[in-house]
A and B are shown apart, each in its own frame.
Chain A
Amino acid sequence: MTDLPAAPTPKRLGLVIDVDICVGCHACATACKEWNTGGYHAPLTDLNPYGKDASGVWFNRVHSFEFGRGADNRVVHFPKSCLHCDNAPCVTVCPTGASYKRAEDGIVLVDESLCIGCKLCSWACPYGAREFDSTEGVMKKCTLCIDRIFNENLEEIDRVPACVAVCPVNARHYGDFNDPHSSVSEMTAERGGYDLMPEMGCKPTNKYLPPRPRKFNTGDTGAPAVLEDADPAGGFLGWVDRMLSAQP
């Protein structure tokens, strides 16, 4: 059970997140909370919601980072949720079998009815994707919206994670990484999608698309560095004359 499935699972479902176009609007974070607080892991409890030191269970959180200096300085918005790792330490450390990776599609879940709330999985996860609900005494986490993506009560096209459906800049994509022709596989190949903290050896399923190189140098758009004078002799208005008299 908390052995990992005999990898590779037939499907590897996960997300691609494009930090090149993420504007940091937090929609994926709140939509996630809104869907999931009534879903599989309901509720996503908030403590002291209207007071001091408010804190809550969120499956998806949007950080902002800066990197580079001078002209290369970038501000990057960086959403992070469970990466549904192939080699998920959060699963193998679990003493009860509550934490598991689905054999069919690789989704990593917590079966609350088995969870004793020892928090060990949250220690084991390098990415901070595990959320302890202290009022319920159990661990909760991103389910990849398992109660949406297969949900027959939803229209086909709505069977995607809430965070993907909501993203106004379409920076989040969902699909099967085992299928080389899935949009997620293709994007990852094309844009050089990468793993977070590969040195941790978790083999995350989710991939991040790096910021694209930006056009801010001369020639990047094909334009010259500076415009030529219209009419060195007669000046601009002289040029206007020429242009107009050229007209019928």
Chain B
Amino acid sequence: MHPAYSLIFFTTASGLGYGLLALMGFFAALGLMPADRVFGFAGFAVALGLVTLGLLSSTLHLGHPERAWRAVTQWKSSWLSREGVMAIVTYIPAGLFALGWLFFETLGGFWILAAVATAVCCALTVYCTAMIYASIAAVPRWHHPLVPPGYLIFALATGALALDALLRVFGHPRLEVSALAALAVIAALVVKLLYWRSVDNAPARADADSATGLANSGVPGGIVRLLDPPHVEKNYLQTEMGYKVARKHAAKLRRMTVLFAFLVPLVLVALTTVLPAGAAAAASVTAAAAGAFGIVLERWLFFAEAQHVVMLYYGERAI
């Protein structure tokens, strides 16, 4: 699939944003968040900022951005619609949560409910995003049970790294958060490795024979192969869905993903526990940045490595 930058940025940014927001809510509910206005403001700014920017960028690739509002109408059937709805709904608890924190400087009582609601909404929104891809059977590498958990755990990991960084920058280091970040990163790594192993070894979902129905049409005859495409130059389908990344190139990017999204953050988070505050803060910020960058790579691969079965009509043997 064509790796559209607007989508890559959107999914990573909103993932990180919702992850951060969810964790602020979660730890607030556990009473582990400092009711510090400045820190809170920074947290909300980063989280809601990224989420909002992400949503905006996702409308960039629309043919009719001015009609984007229509996208919320089909929540009954469409995951994209549901994502839109959830994204908007999330602003309500998130707003209350922020209100309590930033104006009343309280994270107790009613405001806890807002915090919890925020966390839940964030999780649901990310899940919807994941399902947009996971529900597309025509792209076998997306239509995979590990895709939704992947999206969720990456959101959690990048969010946790960001929260850890913010806490340290504003002088409220919290071991629980660092620990969670570390665990989330490890979990994310595991999910990704499992996913890669699974998709790399998965049997093809369809092949040119079933796409054309020729080989199994009762006539003796073997493998179906394209003789002539319908048009000599690339058409929309081929540019949108025919993107193919070279194996070698993909392998390299996978290694970089593992390095930046997982190993680097892990090591740095570990270091933060032993380093002096200043250095630790610096380390955790770097960890968050590396993580985010790594996930951008992961997301690029998520598109670029995914093949669409329509390419079976354009010369691919099996997908």
Contacts and interface: CB of A to CB of B under 8 A. Distances in A.
| A–B contact at 8 Å CB threshold (below) | yes
Interface in A190-236: 192, 194-201, 208, 210-213
Interface of B is mostly: loop
A202 to B, nearest CB: 8
Contacts of B233: 53-55
Given A63-B228, A65-B212, A201-B137, A136 B313 contact: no
B79 interface: yes
B114 to A, nearest CB: 28
Interface in A61-99: 61-69, 72-76, 78, 80, 89, 91-98
A211 B219 contact: yes
A210 B212 contact: no
Nearest to B63: A117
Given A3-B77, A78-B212, A125 B138 contact: yes
Interface string A28-58: 0100000000000000000000000111111
A121 B212 CA distance: 21
Interface stretch (A126-134, A147-155, A166-174): A126-134
Given A123-B136, A125-B138, A192 B228 contact: no
A123 B63 contact: no
A21 interface: no
B219 A65 contact: no
A127 to B, nearest CB: 7
Contacts of A122: 236-237, 240-241
Contacts of B61: 118-119
Size range of the chain A interface in the assembly: 35 or more
Interface in B60-99: 61-65, 67-68, 70-74, 76-81, 84
B148 to A, nearest CB: 16
B249 interface: no
A6 B25 CA distance: 42
B63 A199 contact: no
A211 B209 CA distance: 14
A57 to B, nearest CB: 8
B230 interface: yes
B309 interface: yes
A115 B62 CA distance: 10
A124 B138 contact: yes
A44 to B, nearest CB: 12
B221 A72 contact: yes
Contact of B230 (A63, A68, A95, A139): A63
B211 A196 contact: yes
B210 A199 contact: yes
Contact of B236 (A55, A137, A213): A55
Nearest to A19: B214
Contacts of A138: 63-64
Nearest to A136: B63
Nearest to B137: A200
Main secondary structure of the interface of A (DSSP, over half): loop
B226 A200 contact: no
Contacts of B81: 95-96
B210 to A, nearest CB: 5
A210 B212 CA distance: 10
Contacts of B213: 194-197, 208, 210
Given A61-B230, A114-B70, A128-B237, A194 B217 contact: yes
Contact of A128 (B74, B209, B310): B310
B288 to A, nearest CB: 30
A19 B308 CA distance: 24
Contacts of A67: 209, 212, 214-215, 221-225
Interface string B110-122: 0000000000000
A183 interface: no
A102 B163 CA distance: 49
Interface in B4-62: 61-62
A77 to B, nearest CB: 9
Contacts of B224: 65-67
Given A136-B63, A197-B211, A211-B219, A55 B234 contact: yes
Contacts of A27: none
A9 interface: no
Contacts of A240: none
A116 interface: yes
Contact of B136 (A63, A124, A197): A124
7 contacts: A61-B235, A89-B137, A95-B71, A118-B71, A123-B240, A134-B63, A200-B309
The 10 closest A-B pairs by CB, nearest first: A117-B63, A137-B63, A68-B221, A210-B217, A61-B230, A128-B310, A95-B81, A95-B80, A95-B71, A96-B70
Interface of B: 1, 61-65, 67-68, 70-74, 76-81, 84, 132, 135-139, 205-206, 208-231, 233-237, 239-241, 308-310, 312-314
Given A55-B239, A118-B71, 5 more contacts: A64-B228, A65-B214, A96-B74, A116-B68, A197-B210
